[in-house]
Amino acid sequence: MIEHKVVRGIEKMYITNGEKNIEVSLTWGDIDVLKNYAKEVKRPNTCVLLGTGQGGSALVVREVVDKNVDIYTIDEKSGFYKLYNRKDINFISGDYINLEKNWNKPIGLLLIDTEIDLSKEQFLAWEKHLVENAIVLFHDYGFHAPTVVAGCNSLFKDNKNYKVLFVPDSSQERNGITSMYQVRKLGN
Ligand SMILES: C[S@@+](CC[C@H](N)C(=O)[O-])C[C@H]1O[C@@H](n2cnc3c(N)ncnc32)[C@H](O)[C@@H]1O
């Protein structure tokens, strides 16, 4: 279950995992974006998250994507999220760039929520695994993360392989609204 609380004027999202409440680094707006695209993803296509953190985003994606679709969430740090002991989410430990070299699964939804400066580099490494019509979401497109803004703008300006679906207003506070830059991969 996804819950919403306002703490000192700041919106915070939580998702329940068994007995625990996990804070999610997504806003309501981000979660609506995920819900919107999640229904498009069908097996054998997969959902891949770059940046597990405490695992909140992966738990949200698991809640909104079809049960038959495999979810992989990748982070170089392991430990805390393994405690979740979820069999329905594949927690992978390692460096994004190294892991990509042996990747062989088609990706229908790619969520990039990495250390901010790395989003562009990681997209370029992983994009070869995107299926036609795949959705790519870049978290943190906003004034708080100018490198994500610059990276997305340069990646998709005049890029005929992708349709830009939504550009967040980067002058806005994140409270509530989405900071997900959204693109769809086009066919050849
Ligand atoms: C903003 S956090 C992700 C937050 C997460 N989506 C959540 O729901 O809590 C970014 C994560 O990227 C990971 N990271 C940064 N560089 C990495 C790399 N080269 N390979 C794998 N993980 C990396 C960090 O360890 C960190 O946990």
User: 130 near 140, Cβ under 8 Å?
Assistant: no
Name the β-bridge partners of 22. Answer: 15
- Separation of CA 115 and ligand 1 centre (Å): 6
- Which domains are assigned to the chain? 25-185 (3.40.50.150)
Rounded CA gap, 180 and 188, in Å?
25
Distance 66 CA to ligand 1 centre (A): 24
pLDDT at position 143, please? 78
Give the pLDDT confidence of 1-41 residue by residue, as tens digits.
888 888 787 778 888 887 788 888 898 899 999 999 999 99
CA-proximal residue: ligand 1, atom 19 (nearest): 95
Mean pLDDT, residues 34-63? 94
Residue nearest to atom 7 of ligand 1 (CA): 53
CB neighbourhood size of 112 (10 A): 25
State the pLDDT at residue 98.
Answer: 93
DSSP count for the chain of H helices, then E strands: 5, 10
What's this model's pTM, rounded to 2 decimal places?
A: 0.93
Q: Are 24 and 14 in contact (CB under 8 A)?
A: yes
Nearest CA to ligand 1 atom 18: 95
Looking at this protein, which amino acid is placed at residue 145?
A
- CB of 95 closer than 6 angstroms to any ligand 1 atom: yes
Kindly state the average pLDDT of the residues 109-117: 87
| Ligand 1 proximity of 30 Cβ (cutoff 6 Å) | no
Q: Which of 20, 81, 115 to mutate to test the pocket of ligand 1 (most atoms within 8 A of CB)?
A: 115
**CA of residue 96 to ligand 1 center, whole Å:** 9
